[in-house]
Structures are given as C-alpha cells and as structure tokens.
Structure 1
Amino acid sequence: MMKIRAASWWAWSFAVLFLFYEFIVRVFPTVMVQELMGAFDATAAQLGTLSAFFFYAYAPMQIPVGLLMDRFGARNLLTFASLFCGFGSLLFAAAHHIIPADIGRFLMGIGSSFAFVGMVYVCSHWFPAKKLALLVGIGNSLGMLGAFGAQGPLSFVVETMGWRFTVVTFGITGIVLALVLFFFMKKAPGQEKIEVKKASFDLAHNLKKVASNGRTWLNAAIALLFYMTTAAFASLWGIPFLSEGYGIDRNVAAFAISMIFIGWIIGGPIIGYISDRFSKRKPFLYGGIFLCLLSLIPVIYIPHLPMPLLFILLFLVGFFQAAQLLSFSLGIEINAIEAKGTSIALTNFCVATGSSLMQPLLGILLDSKWDGAMREGIPFYSIADYHFAMVSFPITLILAFVLLLFLKETKHEPDAATWSKISGMD
C-alpha cells in the first residue's frame, strides 16, 4: 500500500511539473517582445501571429486529446508532449526568420495541449475519487505558478542571458523532462485501454449532441470573450504597454502583469467554492465580468497610477476574470451528463481559438495606427496606439456581459468529480 501511495504521488508530481513547464512555454514571449521584433524584423501584427501559432495547434487538439489519453495513457503521451515542447523551443531559439519560429511555436502548442488533461487523468486514475477535486485544484494552481514565473522572474533571465539562451534552456528542459516522464512515471494501476473504434464512435456521437445545442455555442462565446484580457493583455501585450504608458522598467512591468496570474490562482478556487455553495453560475459571471471591467479600465486609460494601486488593480483583473471558469460548469449543466467531457473540450476549443485570433488582432490594430516610428531598429508604438488597440478589451467584456443575458442557466449541482474537470481548464 505504501509503495502504491508513493508511486501515486510521484506520478501526480510529474504531471504537475509538466503543467508548470507548459504554462511557461505558453506565455514566455510576453517578456521578450522587443527582442523578438528585432530578431525577426517583425511588426506588431507579425509578432502577434507568431505568438498565436501556439494556439493554432493547441485549439484543435483539445477535442481529440482526451480520447488519446484514454487510449495510450498519461506516461506515453506526456513524454511525447514534453518532447514536442522541447524541440519546438529549440527550433524557435535557433530561428533567424519568422517562419521557422512559427513552426517552433506550433510544435509547442501541440505538446502543451496535453498538459491539463494529463494532470486530471493522473488524478483520476491514481487516487480515490474523494481526493480528486482537491488534487486537481492544487495541481492547477501550482501549474499556473509557471505563468507567474514566466513574467517578472523570467524578465531578469532574459535581460541577463539573452532571449535565445533562455529559450534554448526551455528546449533542453523539455527533453530532459520527457526522459524523466518515460523512465520514472509508471502506468496507472489497473489501467484499461479503450478500443479506438468504440471511443471514436462515442466521441462523434457526443460531439454531435453537444454541437447541436445552441446554448453550447452561446456559452462558449461568452467564455471566449471573457478570457481575452488574459489571452492577449496578460500573455503578450501587457508588458510593452506598461513600459511605454507608465515609463517603467520592463522588469517592473513584468512583475505587474504577473499579478493577473496570481489573481487567477487565488480567485479560481474562491469563486468556484462560493458558486457551488449557492448552486448558481450566472450571478457570479455577471459580477466577474463587471468587476473585471472596472478594474481594467483605469489600468489602460488613467495615466501614471501609483505603483501599489496598479499592482492591486491588475491582481483584481485576474481575480475577477477567474470567474470565467464557471463557463465550463455551465457547459456541463446545459448538456447531457454523458457528454460532459465533450462539452468541456468544445468550450475550451472555442476559448483557445479566440486566443489565437486576439493576439494578432491587437498587433494589427497597433500597426493600423503606427506612424512608422522606429527606436533602435524596432517599431515604436506610442501610448495613443496602445489606447486605440486596447479598446478591444472593454468591448469584449461588454459583449460577454450582453450575451450572458440571453443564456438560460440550468439548475444543477455538480459533484466533486465534475468540478474537478472544469476547474482550471482554459
């Protein structure tokens, strides 16, 4: 019994470690925007597209990844995923033109698509059901610390060692982690493989059922619009905006943006717990969207806020935006219970697709107002350019609020296993 318990904790730790690594790989471009523009002679639109290539792979992989996990198990697929992230990072670091860098980012997206699902799979196969919600919640929070580390702390590494060396380190880490996963992570006890033909049929049947429900798409659109501030502001354009708008050092700006992810880490469990206590989703989604909007507008449009207030507001942006996780609860509750996994996958597919569009869209908007000014050979965007482009964030939040008015909430109290699948899926 003690041996099995130790093996279970080791498997969980490896899965969480890969999730932590995946979050770093996902958001690292935000601390090297200027360096990447210079290295690839890129405009804002081109850089946005480069970063979004991650989601071009990540989004479509969301639907089949669960089926693959059931068929091949966590060890094999997380090993494969870590190798893709590692080799993608090495290709990205070695690139001197933007197309190879795009391919490298695409490979990172393929590998990263297995991270959260793999962690949930390990929790559900290695531990009793009564521990499932707790372990998934803790694992997701620990994983999101990678996003925090890829902001402020990583900015010092990039400044000291250079962006190419930093990304090479990510590549080597991914390959080493793949070896660790393969040789030290065991198969789950009593693991049963699902026949591919039968699983494919079930997936197609459930996908048709979920996709034919109009409320599924409405809910997914709300989740997509609500998430865009994290997808494009926190994950790419926030640091250069704060550096220009507030005239602060990039490292300080990076730590400020990292407060959004700290807000997510703390807000997700709190909002989810309160929502479960009241068995309601929409009121907390309304409140989250509205309060996120109120916290974000001063950051973008009130110049030179005091630094403590700026940090607090960015924390609140992340805290209230964590209510977006409730959209996955709604996705389950408005569909048949046997299709809950498919409803989560389809919702997350839509959110990831929106992320792939929002990052380059911000770049296009910046370029549309750019006057051609250059600084040290890199396109220079004024604060007015950023203000124009970032009006899209209040617009997406307002649209999410309006669309929520038309979504009927189905009363349903999810069990612990259901909530564990949705907490942290983004």
Structure 2
Amino acid sequence: MAVWGIGVAVYFVAITYRTSLGVAGLDAAERFHINASALSTFSLLQLLVYAGMQIPVGLLVDRLGPKKVLTLGVVLYTVGQFGFALSSSYGMALGSRALLGCGDAMTFISVLRLGSQWFPARRGPMIAQIAALVGMAGNLVSTLVLARFLHSFGWTPTFVASAAGGIVVLIVLLLFLKDRPEGFASPPPSAQHTGPGFVRRQIAESWREPGTRLGMWVHFTTQFPAMVFLLLWGLPFLVEAQGLSRGTAGELLTLVVLSNMAVGLIYGQVIARHHAARMPLALGTVLATALMWAIVLCWPGAHAPMGLLIVLCAVLGACGPASMIGFDFARPANPPERLGTASGIVNMGGFTASMTTLFAIGVLLDATGDNYRIAFASIFVVEALGVSQMLRLRRRAVRRERERLVVSRVEAVHVPA
C-alpha cells in the first residue's frame, strides 16, 4: 500500500501542475498580453502533448515497468513547471506547458499498472477511483492554495515554490518505489516484450478489443466537461459571464473538486459490487451534465442564480469518476501484459475531447465578442458524438467480455493441480 501510495503522490503533484493554469488564466492573459484564443492554446498544447503521449507511454509501461516511466515523468513535469514560473514570453511559456504535459502523461497509466500489480483484480475499480480521488486533491491544492499564493506573492514565486514539490517526490520515488511485490509471479516487463513488431502488435491487439474502444469513448464523453471547466474556462466563465468575484468563483471550482472526491468513492463501491452498473452510471452522468449546462446557458437574464451554479458544479464533480469507468471496460478485455497500452488508448479519449472543446470555446469567444453561451454550447456537440459511439459499442463489448470470462473459467478448471 505504501509503495502504491508513492506512485499516487507522483500523480497528485502532476495534477497540481496540470490544473495550476485554471486559477492563473486571467493572470496569464495579463502577463503575456494575449487574447482568449491564445490563452486556450496553453491548455490545448498541454493536452495535445498529453493525448499524443498516451499510447507511447502505455507501451513504455508494458516494456519498462512503472518506476522508470514515473521517474522520467517527474523530471519532465518539474522542469516544465520551473520553466513556466520563469517564463517572460508567450513562446517560452508554451514550451514549458508542453514539457509539463509530456511528464504529466506518464503518471496515471503508471499508477494504474502499479495498482494492478500490488492489489487483487477484484479491487481494480476501487483502486482506480482512489487514485483519481487523490489526484483531485491536487486540484484542490490549485484552487485553494495556489490561488491564494498567486494573489499574495505573484507569478514567479508561486510557481517556483510549487515546482519544488516535484523534487521531493522524485527523491522519494527513487529511494522507495518498486514495480511489484517480492515474489510477484509475473516476469519483468522487459522480458515479456521483445522481438520485431512489438509496438504494432500491442496497439492492434488492444484496439481490436471492443472493450478498449468502448472504454475510450466512455472516457471521451464523460471527462471533458469538468476538465475544460477546471483546467481553464471555469474561472473566466464564472467571473466574466456570471459576474462573480474571483474568491466566489474559486469556491465553486473547489466544490467541483470536492464533489469529484465524494462521487468517486461512491462510484468505485457501486462498480466493484455491481459490474452491470458501469454503463448506466456513465450515461447518467453525461445526461445530468448536459441537462445542467442547458439550464444554465438558457437561463433568462444576464446571470444564472447562485443555487443553479452550485448544482452545476456539484454535477460536474461526477465527470471525473465517470471517466474512470472507461478503464473498467478496458481492464477485463485485455491481458495484464497489454494493460498499459489499452489504458493509454482509453486515456486518450477524454483528453482529446478536452483539447477539442478548449480550442472551440476560445475560438468562439473571440468570434462572438466573449459570448459564453454560444461558446459553451460546443459541449453538447462533443457529448452527442461520444454518446453515439458508446451506444454503438456497448453490446459488442459486453458480449466479448462474457466470452473471455467463460474461457478464463474453463482454463482455471483444467489447470493441473
């Protein structure tokens, strides 16, 4: 448990860095003298690198093991955060966020692989939700601590101080993290994956499984509404479109994080006990999110009432836990030696959707003179695409999962004593 906790701590710091721009978006616009489209490019580039790295990272985890991949990730995201702290130009800041995104991309899949090697398979859904919950605590640090430091001490001291956290977890990681428990039956990953065609074979076989593809679309559809809100556009929307103070807006962002943590525990328990609840929970979260956004954006008058914004933020908190369901479709569809690659494919989904929506909102804000109602309507288009793919793949994935379960039971019966 303690060893797995080190991996989760690495992910915690990564989330803190990833979401730091969410409370610094307005400050970044002033510091670098940029408009909404240029501001969205920060998060867009970061997520582009993150999404593009998912399959390579999954392959690396399968081949090298999580410790080496996590070590490289910590080095990259710490250097990126230091660079962002010291950036005096827009170009330098962009490069730093790209480096940060590259390091961030190496964390969550590695943590999932650690969990699969340190805990029994039946606890997989709960372990994944707990890892995501701790990661959201990193988001809480951004919305509560980083925002206050930014207001009190300014840009450079705040981001330099936060970057020091990466050095701490790197030291702990190097000293104490192990890929697997003593006596773990599986051979080292590097011994399992050799020979020509390894990369192509891993990707093709993972993608061939309907559960992998369904997991990707579940992640695509459920994660991005909250990600877009927390990563960049939530604070500007609440301050500029809803007329709230930055302090009140920060409290609502905190509510999203707290809701995420509470719902994550519930979803993890429900899925661990009732596997059939996966798809209803995912679709129900998408429906609730779309409904709340529709009410807020269509509300007559300039500003939605505070009670409605509170409910919106509470519902957005369910998006992160719902996105973890995608991994619960991919996990039983793939053998352990392919789990990193399959998880990388799934994780691409939500970040691709987030990247697309971040860009769309920035472009629409510039094109419409900061009309947030039109800009945020792009959420519905992305959700509709994702839901159509989820409905198309769900029966095929469930049927294939049942077939694999029957085969595994037959093999278990015929294993010699």
Amino acid corresponding to residue 392 of structure 2 in structure 1: F
Measure the CA separation in 2 of the matches of 1:320 and 1:105. 24
Deviates more, 1:242-251 or 1:124-133: 124-133
Equivalent residue for 2:61? 69
Q: Are 2:262 and 1:263 aligned? A: no
Equivalent residue for 1:424? none
State the 1:34 CA deviation: 1.4
Counterpart pick for 1:112 among 100, 104, 107: 104
Amino acid corresponding to residue 223 of structure 2 in structure 1: Y
Amino acid corresponding to residue 255 of structure 1 in structure 2: E
Describe the SS at the equivalent of 2:188: coil
State the 1:250 CA deviation: 1.0
> Are the structure 2 counterparts of residues 220 and 187 from structure 1 closer, same or farther at C-alpha, using a change threshold of 3 Å?
closer
Q: Are 2:299 and 1:298 aligned? A: no
Q: Are 2:220 and 1:234 aligned? A: no
RMSD: 3.0
- 2:78–2:167: 8 Å Cα contact kept in structure 1? yes
After superposition, what is the alpha-carbon deviation per residue over 1:349-374, rounded to whole angstroms, capped at 9, x for unaligned? Answer: 2332332332222111111122xxxx
Deviates more, 1:403-412 or 1:252-261: 403-412
- 1:292–1:321: 8 Å Cα contact kept in structure 2? no
Amino acid corresponding to residue 228 of structure 2 in structure 1: A
- 1:155–1:251: 8 Å Cα contact kept in structure 2? no
Equivalent residue for 1:345? 344
> Are the structure 2 counterparts of residues 59 and 125 from structure 1 closer, same or farther at C-alpha, using a change threshold of 3 Å?
same
Describe the SS at the equivalent of 1:279: helix
Measure the CA separation in 2 of the matches of 1:388 and 1:33. 20
Measure the CA separation in 2 of the matches of 1:368 and 1:154. 31
Question: How many residues are paired up?
Answer: 393
Counterpart pick for 1:82 among 55, 74, 77: 74
Uncovered stretches (5+) of structure 1, i.e. residues with no partner = 1-7, 371-380, 416-426
Equivalent residue for 2:152? 160
TM-score of the pair, normalised by structure 2: 0.83
Equivalent residue for 2:284? 287
Equivalent residue for 1:311? 310
> Are the structure 2 counterparts of residues 187 and 398 from structure 1 closer, same or farther at C-alpha, using a change threshold of 3 Å?
closer
TM-score of the pair, normalised by structure 1: 0.81
Equivalent residue for 1:185? 177
Measure the CA separation in 1 of the matches of 2:107 and 2:196. 21
Uncovered stretches (5+) of structure 2, i.e. residues with no partner = 406-417
Q: Are 2:352 and 1:360 aligned? A: no
Measure the CA separation in 2 of the matches of 1:111 and 1:288. 29
Deviates more, 1:13-22 or 1:348-357: 348-357
Describe the SS at the equivalent of 1:247: coil
State the identity as a percent. Answer: 26
- 1:71–1:194: 8 Å Cα contact kept in structure 2? yes
Amino acid corresponding to residue 362 of structure 1 in structure 2: I
Measure the CA separation in 2 of the matches of 1:71 and 1:344. 14
Measure the CA separation in 2 of the matches of 1:127 and 1:213. 24
Equivalent residue for 1:393? 379
Measure the CA separation in 1 of the matches of 2:389 and 2:67. 41
Measure the CA separation in 2 of the matches of 1:200 and 1:185. 31
Q: Are 2:393 and 1:407 aligned? A: yes
Q: Are 2:249 and 1:250 aligned? A: no
